């Protein structure tokens, strides 16, 4: 990071005089210049309080809102605006709604500048961006986070994951191994569960046929069913609500299913 208050051209630009957050009334005393040419006004006190990664040396000279220091950063405006929002005592932005590319760059920035509130916020993006969160966890050694996101990444094409794990062949190998466990779960789910004998010595009733056909349909997308596994397990229960034999069969099937899932090792244990 370098101070660039004397950089050519800056004087031609109207610098912001207020924080970009409407609800913020704090005085500004530093301007961050983004890599895409924008200027964001900020507060050194907040940067110091919420981040451990901004070099304190940049803040030592006494600057004021009339003469703010200008600091050039390599991040883009979209990411720096979010980063600054994390460094306020306001409602935090919902990372689950960020586009993948923004989340990826933001995750790097919160790590680089050590913005704790931002780090905590990254995990809420798991449902929408499991791969970005998984990558972030692997790369920065937050293995709990990688483990939380891992099962939602196994339905992704190997090519896509390989691209993101290009610098971590060890993690890619662990991911492939991890996915194998889930493939076994899929194969198990595709098999007919043990029958529950109905009254009159019949194996199944019409309710079962309907229930099972729909369940198999959901499995036709391969590991995609993992995206919403709780819903997958309970979605068609209404089909068997009138048959206690089928209910017994499904309950025992779910039990076996969950037991197998519980036995899958954590991704991080395969690293
Ligand atoms: Zn502010
Ligand atoms: Zn039945």
Smallest-distance ligand from the CA of 81: 1
| Contact of 141 with 112, CB cutoff 8 Å | no
CA 210–ligand 2 middle distance (angstroms) = 10
CB-based contacts of 191, cutoff 8 Å, min separation 6: none
| Contact of 54 with 113, CB cutoff 8 Å | yes
Beta bridge partners of 72: 2, 33
Ion ligand 1: residues, CB within 5 A, are: 19, 21, 24, 26
Smallest-distance ligand from the CA of 32: 1
> Smallest Cα–Cα separation from 10: which of 58, 71, 53?
71
Would you place residue 10 in the very low, low, confident or very high pLDDT band (cuts 50, 70, 90)? low
CA 68–ligand 1 middle distance (angstroms) = 14
Ion ligand 2: residues, CB within 5 A, are: 205, 207-208, 243, 245-246
Question: Which residue is listed with tokens 């609800």?
Answer: 23
pLDDT in tens, 194-209: 999 999 999 999 999 9
- Pull the structure tokens for residue 231: 């819903």
CA 142–ligand 1 middle distance (angstroms) = 30
- Percent pLDDT > 90 in the chain is 56
Smallest-distance ligand from the CA of 90: 1
Mean pLDDT of the chain: 87
pLDDT of residue 184: 96
> Smallest Cα–Cα separation from 247: which of 203, 208, 189, 216?
208
CA 192–ligand 2 middle distance (angstroms) = 14
Q: What is the chain written as a DSSP string?
A: -EE-TT-TTGGGS----SBSSTT--PPP-EEEEPTTS-EEEE-HHHHHHHBS-S-GGGG-S---SSS-EEEE-SS-HHHHHHHHHHTSSSPPP-GGGS-HHHHHHHHHHHHHTTBHHHHHHHGGGTTT-HHHHHHHHHHTT-HHHHHHHHTTTTTS-HHHHHHHTTT-HHHHHHHHHHHHHHHHHHHHHHSPPPP-PBTTTBS--HHHHHHHHHHHHHHTTGGGGGGGHHHHHHTTGGGGTT-HHHHHHHHHHHHHHHHHHHTSPPGGGG-
Q: At residue 154, does pLDDT exceed 90?
A: yes
- Pull the structure tokens for residue 120: 């905590």
pLDDT of residue 11: 56
CA 25–ligand 1 middle distance (angstroms) = 7
Pairing verdict, β 69-72 and 30-33: parallel
CA 54–ligand 1 middle distance (angstroms) = 17
Q: At residue 8, does pLDDT exceed 50?
A: no
Q: At residue 169, does pLDDT exceed 50?
A: yes
> What structural domains and CATH numbers belong to the chain?
2-125 (3.30.710.10), 170-270 (no CATH)
pLDDT in tens, 23-59: 999 999 899 999 999 999 999 889 988 888 875 445 5
Smallest-distance ligand from the CA of 199: 2
pLDDT of residue 62: 56
> Smallest Cα–Cα separation from 3: which of 73, 63, 75, 72?
72
The whole-number average pLDDT for the span 225-246 is 89
Q: At residue 116, does pLDDT exceed 90?
A: no
The CA distance from 244 to 227, in Å, is 29
| Contact of 110 with 83, CB cutoff 8 Å | yes
CA 195–ligand 2 middle distance (angstroms) = 10
| Contact of 172 with 150, CB cutoff 8 Å | no
Of 113 and 123, the structure prediction assigns the larger pLDDT to 113
pLDDT of residue 233: 86
The whole-number average pLDDT for the span 179-208 is 93
The whole-number average pLDDT for the span 254-260 is 92
CA 39–ligand 1 middle distance (angstroms) = 14
pLDDT of residue 160: 92
- Pull the structure tokens for residue 204: 């199944």
pTM recorded for the entire structure: 0.71
């Amino acid at each position: 990071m370098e101070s660039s208050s004397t950089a050519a051209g800056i004087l031609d630009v109207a610098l912001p005089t207020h924080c970009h957050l409407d609800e913020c009334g704090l005085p500004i005393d530093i301007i961050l210049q983004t890599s895409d040419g924008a200027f964001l006004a900020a507060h050194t006190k907040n940067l110091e309080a919420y981040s451990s990664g901004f070099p304190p040396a940049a803040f030592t000279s006494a600057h004021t809102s009339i003469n703010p220091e200008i600091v050039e950063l390599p991040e883009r405006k979209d990411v720096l605006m979010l980063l600054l929002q994390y460094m306020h005592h306001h409602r935090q932005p919902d990372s689950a709604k960020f586009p993948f590319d923004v989340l990826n760059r933001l995750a790097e920035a919160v790590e680089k500048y050590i913005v704790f509130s931002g780090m905590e916020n990254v995990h809420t993006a798991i449902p929408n961006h499991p791969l970005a969160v998984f990558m972030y966890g692997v790369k920065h050694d937050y293995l709990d986070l990688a483990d939380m996101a891992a099962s939602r990444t196994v339905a992704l094409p190997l090519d896509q994951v390989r691209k993101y794990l290009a610098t971590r062949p060890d993690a890619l190998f662990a991911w492939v191994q991890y996915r194998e466990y889930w493939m076994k779960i899929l194969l198990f789910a595709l098999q007919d569960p043990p029958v529950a004998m109905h009254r009159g010595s019949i194996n199944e009733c019409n309710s079962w046929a309907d229930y099972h056909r729909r369940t198999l349909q959901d499995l036709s997308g391969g590991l995609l069913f993992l995206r919403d596994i709780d819903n997958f397990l309970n979605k068609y229960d209404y089909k068997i609500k009138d048959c206690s034999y089928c209910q017994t069969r499904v309950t025992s099937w779910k039990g076996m299913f969950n037991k197998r899932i519980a036995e899958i090792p954590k991704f991080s244990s395969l690293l």
